[in-house]
């Protein structure tokens, strides 16, 4: 066990489901062949977080047979393993014994980030050019004259060409794209300013002029590219962190062919009519009907129901549900593309979210800013033409107006604040997908929560342990250790596995419970009707019959267990903080009215809507939106995904379904729900700073523009003014880091619970 | 002023050298794992009996 694997800062509560290691067929399917019998497998290991982890993992994997090499990437929390031979080395067992949870992921979706390396290359080229041109410009400003000045200008012009062509490409493309669609963005005035500055400077250089603005046009690009790169890094980091979490969809399934041969087939190639074998702990890959076997299914991620459902032959099962206790044989009734998961994706795509209508602050400002600036420059030109009749002078001064108003500070005003805010949230375990998400979050007035998995952990907890005889509890825990039913896990989680030698020949009866035989006694842990067969209570012997969970000895009930779905940490404090911030809170759930009512009551809120279908949640949110509300949706299940998309802005816990995490704007990694009010708080603060920054940029222009219009701007003044305004804006953004640090830490952990199943005492 | 004739090319050459050095480092994957690089310096080489090759 490494020093830091469990309970590490970013450690996720990984459910029983995710901890089931993929089969070697599945690993092979996810591997890349590198030629000459060498394969590379990429694993995501979210709990890697220090040098000792790197050392432990690389040393342990390096000694495994057939492993060529293993390398940990700490930034992306991934391990790349190269191996050869026919059998897949036991990576998961080795990592598991070290205490690390690992997951497979698709190498295709982790293509190297080309945009980032292009941006960094552009920053490097622009920085090189800006530095050298600035050196030459300083010489000119300090008094170089005549031929020397011309030489320096020519050199500057030469150095600026690659910078503009290569580094400026991002802005030229973006501006062209905006103009083609009849829109205006911040890049349009930047492109106009930079290219006019270059063209005028070139003209001046050819005519042995005194002033050239090569330094202004290149250092402007340099500054702006830094802002853009930081913005990209922020989003990329969030994207990586989100997609490196465990994948929940099944990758393939074992198909029973004619003549009882078995074959592992990728999900995409499953067709209706195939017979599939689903082992305990696997997810159902496609919709289908059960042909044989009994088991319990965890449907929480699909429907929001918190209690596992007992299924047997003839039952219909949906893709995405988790088979908990017994092996099942099922017949596929739909291909993967027609299954429940795909239906959710379609619903999600159909939901026109608030985000598509939302226009970012920077775009709204630039839509006003650019015409005003260009008009001012044009008026300056006309004014000087009328006043002096000297067209060269008029053009020079008009271009100087454009250069000095070029929105350097404005271009940085928004991204810098958002990068600082995202960094602050990242440290608190909240991933932000992009800057517009924070702008949208700052505007919300209604928060809508899903229940199972969001307000609650979707994982039952034993609550009446104090009233159970400790010896009975110990026996129950030893029996329960053989099962992966959530209730069994709750019992072992509470009492621990004591390893008493007496308990042997344990067998699981899916849908009923676990049976163990010790020294001639038959112990049963499970449904009341099945375990306590001597105390007839009704519903016994029937699959999924009612009654609490009990422990029985030879048919006599000796202990009863009550379970509650534990509320997520700080759920009540979260609701209170949101209400204090003026946000109205609703609960939308697919679960029963009783379960929802109890959660709502213990959270101190009245407003809940139970038993909603996925489309019902979307309709609810859309009707709120039509009433003029800006809605935040917080949810984790597959059934929440369309609603996450439909809402103005959305948040999901890290344990959410894959497509849920992809659809959400924010993903929080820690268990505490306080991430929601924290994200709201930081977003609102960021919103204030953004407005301040824009105000600063406008004030700067109010001073600089008259000077430029009067024709007093020289390249030196332009360089000083533009750098100063940028630095002020950056310094203002940094205040967010300072105020956020001063904010009080999260309240001490407290858990409340809601009763989902109570047995008789 | 004649010193400029070789000082400027020298300055530009040195700058370009730095730039190409950076671009080379970027392309060869030196910036792939900045957090890991910061930690790896603390790992003793002989403590790792199997030094993994570059995998990216």
Place B52 in a pLDDT band, splitting at 50, 70 and 90.
very low
B49: nearest CA in chain A? A59
Q: Chain B contacts of A80, Cβ < 8 Å?
A: 55-56
Q: Is B36 in contact with A54 (Cβ distance < 8 A)?
A: yes
Which single residue is written with the structure tokens 């390096």?
Answer: A62
**In residues, how long is chain B?**
56
The alpha carbon dihedral of A688, A694, A697, A703 has a sign of negative
pLDDT grade, residue A739 (50/70/90)? Answer: low
pLDDT digits (tens, 9 = 90+) for A228-254: 888 787 777 776 666 655 454 556 777
Long-range contacts of A542-545 (CB under 8 A, 24+ apart): A543/A294, A543/A310, A543/A311, A543/A312, A543/A511, A543/A512, A544/A309, A544/A310, A544/A511
For the ranges A151-155, A459-463, A651-655, the maximum mean pLDDT occurs at A151-155
A382–B contact, CB cutoff 8 A: no
Min Cα separation B34/chain A (Å): 7
Q: Which residue of B has its CA nearest to A76?
A: B33
- What pLDDT shows up at residue B20? 92
Band of pLDDT at residue A751, cut at 50, 70 and 90: very low
Q: Which residues of A are catalytic?
A: 450
Indicate whether A13 pLDDT > 60.
Answer: no
pLDDT bracket for residue A12 (50, 70, 90): very low
Of the two residues A619 and A35, the one the predictor is more confident about is A619
Tens digit of each residue's pLDDT (9 = 90 or more) over A400-435: 888 887 767 777 778 888 888 888 887 777 888 777
What is the structure's pLDDT at A482? 73
- Give residue A747's pLDDT band: very low, low, confident or very high (50, 70, 90): very low
Determine which of A158-172, A211-225, A546-560, A687-701 has the lowest per-residue pLDDT on average: A546-560
Tell me, what's the pLDDT at A441?
Answer: 87
pLDDT of residue A216: 84
Task: For residue A167, give the DSSP letter.
Answer: I
B52 and A121: CB-CB below 8 Å? Answer: no
- Among B7, B35, B42, the residue to mutate for chain A (most A Cβ within 10 A): B35
Q: Do B32 and A80 count as a contact with CB atoms less than 8 A apart?
A: no
Q: What is the pLDDT of residue B21?
A: 92
Q: Percent of chain A scored above 90 by pLDDT? A: 1
Interchain CB distance below 8 Å, B15 and A55: no
Q: Are A564 and A753 in contact (CB under 8 A)?
A: yes
CA A616 to chain centre: 25
Pairing mode, strands A666-668 and A556-561: unpaired
Summary mean pLDDT of chain A? 76
Reported as a pLDDT band with limits 50, 70 and 90, residue B17 is very high
- Is pLDDT at A516 greater than 70 in this prediction? yes
Average pLDDT (A670-698) is 86
Checking if the pLDDT of A566 tops 70, the result is yes
Query: How far is B19 from A159, CA to CA, in rounded Å?
Result: 13
What Rg do the C-alpha atoms of chain A give, in angstroms?
32
pLDDT at A113: 65
pLDDT digits (tens, 9 = 90+) for A274-323: 888 887 777 788 888 888 888 888 777 676 666 777 787 888 888 778 78
A40 contacts in chain B (CB < 8 Å): 55
Give A497-551 as a DSSP string.
Answer: ----TT-EEEEEETTTEEEEEETTEEEEEEEHHHH-TTS--SSTTSTT----EEE
Task: For helices A114-141 and A715-742, give the axis angle rounded to 10 degrees.
Answer: 130
User: CB B48 to CB A62 under 8 A?
Assistant: yes
Res A18: pLDDT:
39
Q: How confident is the model at residue A107 (pLDDT cuts 50, 70, 90)?
A: low
Q: How far, in whole angstroms, is CA A207 from its chain's centroid?
A: 56
Contact between chains at B12 and A159 (C-beta distance less than 8 A): yes
Q: How confident is the model at residue A752 (pLDDT cuts 50, 70, 90)?
A: very low
**A84–B contact, CB cutoff 8 A:** no
CB-nearest partner of A148 from B1, B23, B35: B1
Q: What order of strands is seen across the sheet that includes strand A262-266?
A: A262-266, A252-256, A275-278, A328-332, A288-292, A316-317
Q: Which residues of B touch A73 (CB under 8 A)?
A: 32-33, 36, 56
**What is the least distance, in Å, from the CA of A28 to any CA of chain B?**
18
The pLDDT of A563-572, averaged and rounded, is 77
Interface check B52 vs A, CB under 8 A: yes
Given this model, what pLDDT does residue A250 score?
54
Q: What pLDDT score does A136 carry?
A: 87
Cβ contact B43–A54 (<8 Å) = yes
Q: How confident is the model at residue A748 (pLDDT cuts 50, 70, 90)?
A: very low
CB contact under 8 A, A73 and B36: yes
pLDDT category of residue A171 using cuts at 50, 70 and 90: confident
* Confidence (pLDDT) at A5: 40
- What's the pLDDT score for residue A6? 40
Evaluate if residue A370 carries a pLDDT over 50: yes
User: Could you tell me if A125 lies within 8 Å of chain B, comparing CB atoms?
Assistant: yes
Nearest CA in chain A to B50: A62
**pTM of the entire structure?**
0.70
Q: A623 or A112: which carries more pLDDT confidence?
A: A623
Of the two residues A557 and A129, the one the predictor is more confident about is: A129
Phi and psi of A290, rounded to 5°? -75, 130
Separation of alpha carbons A106 and A699, rounded Å: 50
């Amino acid at each position: 066990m490494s020093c830091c694997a469990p309970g590490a800062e970013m450690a996720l509560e990984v459910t029983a489901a995710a901890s089931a290691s993929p089969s070697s067929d599945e690993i092979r399917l996810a591997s890349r062949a590198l030629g000459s019998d060498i394969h590379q497998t990429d694993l995501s290991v979210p709990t890697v977080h220090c040098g000792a982890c790197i050392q432990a993992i690389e040393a342990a994997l390096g000694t495994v047979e057939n492993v060529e090499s293993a390398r940990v990437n700490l930034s992306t929390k991934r391990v790349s393993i190269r191996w050869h031979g026919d059998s897949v080395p036991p990576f998961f067992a080795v990592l598991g014994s070290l205490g690390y949870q690992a997951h497979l992921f698709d190498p295709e979706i982790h293509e190297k980030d080309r945009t980032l390396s292009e941006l960094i290359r552009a920053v490097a080229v622009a920085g090189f050019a800006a530095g050298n041109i600035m050196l030459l410009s300083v010489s000119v400003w300090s008094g170089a004259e005549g031929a020397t000045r011309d030489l320096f200008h020519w050199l500057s012009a030469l150095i600026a060409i690659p910078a503009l062509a290569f580094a400026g490409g991002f802005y030229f493309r973006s501006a062209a794209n905006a103009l083609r669609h009849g829109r205006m963005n911040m890049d349009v005035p930047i492109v106009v300013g930079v290219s006019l500055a270059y063209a005028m400077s070139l003209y001046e250089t050819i005519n042995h002029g005194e002033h050239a603005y090569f330094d202004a046009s290149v250092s402007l690009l340099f500054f702006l590219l830094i802002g853009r790169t930081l913005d990209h890094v922020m989003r990329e980091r969030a994207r990586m962190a989100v997609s490196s979490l465990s994948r929940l969809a099944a990758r393939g399934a074992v198909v029973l062919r004619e003549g009882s041969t078995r074959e592992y087939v990728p999900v995409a190639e499953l067709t209706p009519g195939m017979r599939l074998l689903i082992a305990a702990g696997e997810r159902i890959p496609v919709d289908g009907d059960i042909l044989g076997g009994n088991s319990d299914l965890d449907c929480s991620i699909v429907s929001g129901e918190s209690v596992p459902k007992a299924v047997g032959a003839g039952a219909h099962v949906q893709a995405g549900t988790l088979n908990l206790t017994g092996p099942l044989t099922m017949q596929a009734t739909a291909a993967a593309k027609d299954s429940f998961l795909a239906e959710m994706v379609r619903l999600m795509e159909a939901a026109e979210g608030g985000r598509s209508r939302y226009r970012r602050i920077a775009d709204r400002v630039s839509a006003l800013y650019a015409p005003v600036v260009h008009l001012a420059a044009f008026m300056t030109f006309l004014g000087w033409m009328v006043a002096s009749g000297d067209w060269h002078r008029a053009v020079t001064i008009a271009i100087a107006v454009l250069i000095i108003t070029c929105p350097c500070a404005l271009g940085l005003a928004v991204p810098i604040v958002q990068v600082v805010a995202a960094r602050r949230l990242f440290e608190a375990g909240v991933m932000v997908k992009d800057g517009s998400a924070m702008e949208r979050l700052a505007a919300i007035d209604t928060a809508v929560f899903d229940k199972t998995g969001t307000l609650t952990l979707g994982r039952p907890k034993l609550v009446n342990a104090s009233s159970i005889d400790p010896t009975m509890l110990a026996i129950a825990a030893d029996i329960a250790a053989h099962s992966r039913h959530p209730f069994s896990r709750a019992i072992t989680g509470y009492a621990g596995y004591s390893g008493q030698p007496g308990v042997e020949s344990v067998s699981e009866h899916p849908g009923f419970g676990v049976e163990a035989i010790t020294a001639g006694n038959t112990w049963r842990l499970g449904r009341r009707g099945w375990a306590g067969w001597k105390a007839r209570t009704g519903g016994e012997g029937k699959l999924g019959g009612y009654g609490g969970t009990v422990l029985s000895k030879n048919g006599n009930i000796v202990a009863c267990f009550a379970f509650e779905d534990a509320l997520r940490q700080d759920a009540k404090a979260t609701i209170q903080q949101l209400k204090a911030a003026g946000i109205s809170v609703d609960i939308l759930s697919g679960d029963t009215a009783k379960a929802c009512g109890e959660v709502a009551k213990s959270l101190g809120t009245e407003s809940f809507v139970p038993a909603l279908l996925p489309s019902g949640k979307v309709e609810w949110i859309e009707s709120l939106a039509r009433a003029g509300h800006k809605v935040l949706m917080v949810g984790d299940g597959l059934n929440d995904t369309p609603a996450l998309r439909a809402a103005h802005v959305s948040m999901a816990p890290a344990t959410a379904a894959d497509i849920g995490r992809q659809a959400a704007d924010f993903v929080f990694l820690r268990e505490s729900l306080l991430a929601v009010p924290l994200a709201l708080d930081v977003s609102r603060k960021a919103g204030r700073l953004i407005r301040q920054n824009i105000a600063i940029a406008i004030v700067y222009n109010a001073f600089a523009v008259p000077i430029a219009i009067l024709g007093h701007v020289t390249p030196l003044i332009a360089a000083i003014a533009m750098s100063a305004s940028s630095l002020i804006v950056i310094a203002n953004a940094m205040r967010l880091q300072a105020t956020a640090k001063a904010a009080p830490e999260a309240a001490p952990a407290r858990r409340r619970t809601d009763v989902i199943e109570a047995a008789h005492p | 002023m004649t010193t400029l004739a070789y000082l400027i090319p020298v300055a530009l050459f040195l700058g370009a050298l730095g730039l190409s050095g950076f671009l080379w480092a970027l392309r060869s994957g030196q910036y792939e794992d900045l957090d890991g690089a910061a930690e790896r310096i603390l790992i003793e080489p002989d403590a790792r009996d199997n030094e993994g090759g570059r995998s990216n």
